[in-house]
Amino acid sequence: MKCKITPLILSIFLTIATAHAQIKVVGECTLQFEILEQQGNHWVAIGSKNILVKGNQCKTIFTTPQMAQTLIFNTQSDNAIILKDIGQSHFLQEIKYPPSNTPVMLSMKESVVDSALTILGYLCKKVQLTWSDNTIYEIQYTNEIMSSVNAFELAFKDIPGLVLAYTIIPAKGNAIQYHATKIDLSPISLSQFNVNKELYQIIE
């Protein structure tokens, strides 16, 4: 019996190891997402989200016609900076990151799609996450590539690849959809992560 089981286990291990070895991890990456909100039977564009990753650093910029909010964090630090620009007002807040009161993931279920799903030239898989606050994430990701900071949304921590589209379905309120419209693997200047605090009103 052992002679039959051992090769099988070895074969499964090698298949998994090969799949992980094929993932290209990039240290610098810029992503652009279009953001849509479900309003009745229609999806309405409400803004955009840009993600910049350089090494251990990540910067996300959420932009709508009314405001811009930026989150800057480093995976080697317990703190992050939030910047809010509303008209002529500019605010800065330093927070603990990740927050201690975040919901807990209850389940992760891979979804079977009828046809090949490709976003920006990358073949994607689909997975659904359910959280303790009854929020559902429907995620489309590629395991062909991964950025050095993959969890630009905390929910993506356990996703084995780069997320290129996702829909957040809250227990109450409208669903929000994010869809990648551009990916750029060019080098990013360190100055993108510098903040001149003198330009902002500090929020305690």
Domain boundaries, the chain: 25-203
Cβ atoms of 117 and 124 closer than 8 Å: yes
β-pairing, 136-142 vs 145-147, is unpaired
Is the pLDDT at 58 greater than 90? The verdict is: yes
Q: Enumerate residues 6+ apart whose C-beta is below 8 A from 37.
A: 43, 44, 46, 174, 175, 176, 177
Is the pLDDT at 21 greater than 80? The verdict is: no
- pLDDT score recorded for residue 166: 97
Question: What b/e sequence results for 3-17 when a residue is b if at least 16 CB atoms lie within 10 Å of its CB, and e otherwise?
Answer: eeeeeeeeeeeeeee
- pLDDT score recorded for residue 113: 74
Is the pLDDT at 160 greater than 50? The verdict is: yes
Is the pLDDT at 43 greater than 50? The verdict is: yes
* pLDDT-derived band at 17, boundaries 50, 70, 90: very low
β-pairing, 24-26 vs 145-147, is parallel
Q: What are phi and psi of 193, to 5 degrees?
A: -105, 0
Q: Fold for domain 25-203?
A: outer membrane lipoprotein receptor (LolB), chain A (2.50.20)
Provide the percentage of residues in the chain whose pLDDT is more than 90: 80
Is the pLDDT at 20 greater than 90? The verdict is: no
- pTM (2 d.p.): 0.85
The span from the CA of 120 to the CA of 142, in Å, is 10
Task: Please compute the mean of the pLDDT values over residues 152-181 and round it to a whole number.
Answer: 95
